[in-house]
Chain A
Amino acid sequence: MPFFVEVIISLLIVIGGLFLLIGSFGMIKLKDLLPRLHAPTKASTVGLGGILIASMLFFWIERGHFTIHELLITLFIFLTAPITANLIAKAYMLLNVDPNKDLPPSKQNEGWATFDPVGPEGYDPSEEYKEKET
């Protein structure tokens, strides 16, 4: 294996490891859940991305043919990270945020969607189920 390729792979692993460490350190350093949601994004983008690119380069040089296996993991993590962050924030708001005190008024006929599942103007989702049953 050529020397400069080894240097590049080692650098990518070291940078990825450091970013994973920083992302998890933010989890214990930050005070509240909503700032804390910000920290693991470092781990899941640069941290994991660096290590997966290092793995891709290593097996390319080792085996002699190029594969994009590892890009699948990166793509999957990039697609799912916003969904998990949104769902965790919604779960936190439902349990720990008081919509009357902590949030501004929604200026609509109905409240904020996380706290008001009934929806606009007397629309009741359970009525749809009743119609289907009969």
Chain B
Amino acid sequence: MIEYALNFGFVCVALALLMNLYRLTVGPTTADRVLAVDTMAINAIALLVLFGIGQATAMYFEGALLFAMFGFVSTVAYCKFVLRGDIIE
């Protein structure tokens, strides 16, 4: 039963990533693209956790934590660059 739920979850996350990719390529403003990358990081974390459940190992958890941290840092760096023209002043 968990296998069917996992397959459903994989399909949902894949569709969500495709929608984010659409917003990343089309997105009229720079801020739209930054928001799309931020949401993509969240979807990638969900994909990694689902894969970890499917394989029944806790190894992918560290990858998910790294994705969470780097997603946040990259979003803040992009926004700081747009706002101030520099990342570390």
Contact = CB atoms under 8 A, between A and B. Distances in A.
Contact of B38 (A21, A33, A40, A48): A40
B8 A17 contact: yes
Interface in B34-61: 34-36, 38-39, 42-43, 45-46, 49-50, 52-53, 56, 58, 61
B52 A55 contact: yes
Interface of B: 1-2, 4-6, 8-9, 11-13, 15-17, 19-20, 22-23, 29-32, 34-36, 38-39, 42-43, 45-46, 49-50, 52-53, 56, 58, 61, 64-65, 68-69, 72, 75-76, 78-80, 82-83
13 contacts: A6-B2, A13-B6, A13-B8, A17-B46, A21-B13, A24-B19, A33-B29, A33-B35, A40-B35, A51-B50, A72-B65, A87-B79, A88-B31
Interface of A: 6-7, 9-11, 13-14, 16-18, 20-21, 23-25, 27-28, 33, 36-37, 40, 43-44, 47-48, 51-52, 54-55, 58-59, 62, 69-70, 72-73, 76-77, 80, 83-84, 87-92, 94-96
